[in-house]
A and B are shown apart, each in its own frame.
Chain A
Amino acid sequence: MAPVLQARGITREYGHVTALAGADFEVEAGEVVALIGDNGAGKSTLTRILSGTDLPTSGEILFEGEPVTLGSPVAARELGIETVYQDLALAPHLSPVQNMYLGREVMKHGLLGRLGFMDKAAMRAGSRKAFDDLGATVRDLDGPVGGMSGGQRQGIAVARAAAWASKVIFLDEPTAALGVVQTRNVLDLIRRTAANGIAVVFISHSMPHVIDVSDRVQVMRQGRRVATFRTADTSMEQLVGAMTGALEGSTA
């Protein structure tokens, strides 16, 4: 089976700086792939390119086996690729429902819809379902998300991506600012999303979380993928070794 999303020999240069030097990557439907590497290894650049916010200098991106150009986040989203950014990218003054449907509002039927009026009841119900499906604790659908806890906001951002993604989700450091319980919730969200057949790409510095949640681990160093492991067959020492360059090789 072809990977749902695959990158081959991606390079990205910013002037004289080479951020990616021929990176490969692939993720299959229903699996959680952790993308790890030290700062500056190229994880974020690769994520930006695969989610349509940046263009590669050279290289090939295949979506379900077909070459594609991801020229914008909108282009990526049309393929069913969603991204949860490190800063979440929620509008703090808007409610969870408004954030959930921002840019994809459900309009009323007929003339009112064409005049720009929204079907708020439908959006509310859809949001409720999306949060419940993922077990995200969003108690209040109407308050501004800026007033909610980090865990709730993270839940909203992940649920939004999961609700719209039909193929792939990128999660950039989704547990970076969270407490123990909230982290647990987000990791559970990730597993549940993958169980629905969606490919999840999880970027993290936290090795315990990586080992906890992923099926495979792809290690980046100096703009390349240097190793791929089956999570079940690897150890924290091995991952750190591959990240720092103390260890070369691949087991999967």
Chain B
Amino acid sequence: MSSVATATRTTEKRPEAPKGRSRIAKLLATQQLQIVFVLLVIYAIFAIMRPETFPTLYNLRGIVVNTSILAVLGAGMTLVIITGGIDLSVGSVLVFSGVIASKTMVAAGGQGWGVAALGVAVAGACGLGWGLLNGVLIAKLNIPPLIVTLGTLGMALGFSQIITKGVDLRDAPDVLVNNIGFGNVFGQVPWISVIALVVVIVVGVLLHRSRWGLHVFAIGSNAEAGRRVGLKVDRQLIGVYALAGLLAGFAGLLNLVFYQSTTIGGQTQTNLNVIAGVVIGGTSLFGGVGTIFGTIIGLFIPAVLQNGFVILGVQPFWQQVVVGAVLVAAVYADQTRRARALRGGRSTGFRFPFLNPHGTTPTKEQS
């Protein structure tokens, strides 16, 4: 969505189409700008209140590191939500993948790069497997995404606890822990964040520049229209959930080497935190609209708040209160403005697509 055409239209008479152009594009741009602005304001407030501790490179590094794993999950979640779906299972899939990867690497033995590569492959495969299961159940059996991924959330976590008997595993090869878990590039930039950034950029290019990504938007916008022009909607949906699963699996490995723990009990809110970041970043729960960039900004807001409150000595639980309020406000803004931007849109009575089998909600196209 570029803005090339704005300048050429001013002289034309527009009897029946008042400002039709790019309402959503503009809306998206404004929403993203607003959210960047919100992030900067929050950062500035903390920086003014604690100038000697908050705006330091060291502290910023901490915030970035804490956001890195969520960003990998958020990239996948953005795709899923653009299709009009949801994935509640990411936190559990992350834990499951970490558990299996840890077990496999211990069984294989050694601390070198060979076993590390094995761990990466196994973690990715686990995530891919859960993602494929999600996708097939959603696309082929037409079970609502909310229910499918609620189911796999429980299953993946349950299996993790069965395998470990509920006790966290702590084994990860030294090369991974020392390099990726704690290592830095150029002395200051953490490897884990560099890896997350690469993942996010690759997914961003895939979504915003490739045909495959265009079809993700098309399916979220009007699945039936896609079907009629010959898009393989089912296969595309399975691909999106599989990719989200793969990323969750990879995040599981990052999580394992960063915390040196499978964090079985620590991921119960991960899915909701990621969804909140995606939505705050301007991706619509109604499908068809969203950006990876917005998601990253949306994930930084809770991280900055958390960090800032800790430094201020405010109870960090306030972070949840503020993030909750920002989330509700973001969705409300999205909903009302989108209703006005799309002709025939309704301001009330929206039904969220992920509560229904895919593609069965009334399209916003009908006038």
Interface residues in chain A, defined as those with a beta carbon under 8 Å from any beta carbon in chain B: 53, 72-74, 77, 83, 85, 87-95, 98-99, 102-105, 107, 115-118, 139-144, 146-153, 177, 179, 181-182
5 CB < 8 A contacts A-B: A83-B228, A92-B222, A105-B211, A149-B20, A151-B16
Q: Which residues of B have CB within 8 Å of A95? A: 1
* CA of A144 to CA of B222, assembled, Å: 13
**Which B residues between 324 and 367 are near A, CB-CB below 8 angstroms?**
341-343, 363-367
Q: Which residues of B have CB within 8 Å of A147? A: 20-24, 341-343
**Which B residues between 195 and 251 are near A, CB-CB below 8 angstroms?**
206, 209-212, 214-215, 217-218, 220-222, 224-231
* CA of A116 to CA of B20, assembled, Å: 30
In the complex, which residue of chain A has the Cβ closest to the Cβ of B15? A181
Q: Which residues of B have CB within 8 Å of A144? A: 1, 22-25, 342
Q: Which residues of A have CB within 8 Å of B2? A: 142
* CA of A98 to CA of B231, assembled, Å: 13
Q: Which residues of A have CB within 8 Å of B229? A: 73, 89, 102-104
A146-B218 contact in complex given A116-B211, A177-B367, A179-B16, C-beta closer than 8 Å: no
Is B57 in contact with chain A by the CB < 8 A criterion?
Answer: no
Is B288 in contact with chain A by the CB < 8 A criterion?
Answer: yes
Q: Which residues of B have CB within 8 Å of A89? A: 222, 224-225, 228-229, 365
Pick from A74, A85, A148, A181: contact of B20, CB below 8 A: A148
In the complex, which residue of chain B has the Cβ closest to the Cβ of A73? B228
A140-B16 contact in complex given A91-B218, A93-B220, C-beta closer than 8 Å: no
* CA of A145 to CA of B117, assembled, Å: 46
Interface majority SS on A: helix, strand, loop or mixed?
loop
Q: Which residues of A have CB within 8 Å of B231? A: 102-103
User: Are A94 and B221 interface neighbours, CB within 8 A?
Assistant: yes
* CA of A95 to CA of B21, assembled, Å: 10
* CA of A182 to CA of B367, assembled, Å: 15
A146-B1 contact in complex given A89-B222, A139-B9, A139-B17, C-beta closer than 8 Å: no
A118-B211 contact in complex given A87-B365, A94-B221, C-beta closer than 8 Å: yes
- Closest Cβ of chain B: how far from A172's Cβ, in Å? 12
Is B5 in contact with chain A by the CB < 8 A criterion?
Answer: yes
In the complex, which residue of chain A has the Cβ closest to the Cβ of B345? A146
A149-B23 contact in complex given A85-B228, A89-B228, C-beta closer than 8 Å: no
Q: Which residues of A have CB within 8 Å of B52? A: none
In the complex, which residue of chain A has the Cβ closest to the Cβ of B26? A143
Q: Which residues of A have CB within 8 Å of B1? A: 95, 142-144
User: Are B214 and A140 interface neighbours, CB within 8 A?
Assistant: no
* CA of A95 to CA of B22, assembled, Å: 9
The interface bits of chain B over 18-52 (1 if a CB of A lies within 8 angstroms of the residue's CB, else 0) are: 00111111000000000000000000000000000
* CA of A77 to CA of B228, assembled, Å: 10
Q: Which residues of B have CB within 8 Å of A93? A: 24, 217, 220-221, 288-289
Q: Which residues of B have CB within 8 Å of A153? A: 367
**Which B residues between 273 and 322 are near A, CB-CB below 8 angstroms?**
288-289
Q: Which residues of B have CB within 8 Å of A74? A: 230
User: Are A143 and B23 interface neighbours, CB within 8 A?
Assistant: yes
In the complex, which residue of chain A has the Cβ closest to the Cβ of B1? A142
- Closest Cβ of chain B: how far from A205's Cβ, in Å? 17
Q: Which residues of A have CB within 8 Å of B165? A: none
If A85-B228, A92-B288, A144-B25 are given as contacts, then 17 extra A-B residue pairs at C-beta distance below 8 Å, sorted by A number, are: A87-B363, A89-B224, A90-B222, A91-B222, A92-B342, A93-B24, A93-B220, A98-B214, A117-B211, A140-B21, A142-B25, A143-B21, A144-B23, A144-B342, A147-B22, A151-B16, A181-B15
- Closest Cβ of chain B: how far from A132's Cβ, in Å? 15
User: Are B17 and A149 interface neighbours, CB within 8 A?
Assistant: yes
A152-B211 contact in complex given A92-B221, A92-B288, A102-B225, C-beta closer than 8 Å: no
A142-B22 contact in complex given A73-B228, A91-B222, A92-B365, C-beta closer than 8 Å: yes
Q: Which residues of A have CB within 8 Å of B5? A: 139-143
Q: Which residues of A have CB within 8 Å of B210? A: 115-118
User: Are A73 and B22 interface neighbours, CB within 8 A?
Assistant: no
Q: Which residues of B have CB within 8 Å of A139? A: 5, 9, 12, 14, 17, 20-21
A91-B24 contact in complex given A148-B17, A151-B16, C-beta closer than 8 Å: no
* CA of A90 to CA of B20, assembled, Å: 16
In the complex, which residue of chain B has the Cβ closest to the Cβ of A75? B230
A149-B16 contact in complex given A87-B366, A88-B365, C-beta closer than 8 Å: yes
Q: Which residues of A have CB within 8 Å of B21? A: 139-140, 142-143, 147-148
A182-B16 contact in complex given A140-B21, A142-B2, A147-B342, C-beta closer than 8 Å: yes
Is B141 in contact with chain A by the CB < 8 A criterion?
Answer: no
* CA of A92 to CA of B288, assembled, Å: 8
User: Are A102 and B20 interface neighbours, CB within 8 A?
Assistant: no
Is B188 in contact with chain A by the CB < 8 A criterion?
Answer: no
Q: Which residues of B have CB within 8 Å of A85? A: 228
Q: Which residues of B have CB within 8 Å of A91? A: 217-218, 221-222, 225-226, 288, 365
Q: Which residues of A have CB within 8 Å of B288? A: 91-93
Interface pairs A-B: 4 shortest CB-CB: A103-B229, A93-B288, A116-B210, A143-B21
* CA of A83 to CA of B214, assembled, Å: 22
Pick from A104, A117, A146, A151: contact of B364, CB below 8 A: A146
* CA of A153 to CA of B365, assembled, Å: 10
- Closest Cβ of chain A: how far from B281's Cβ, in Å? 17
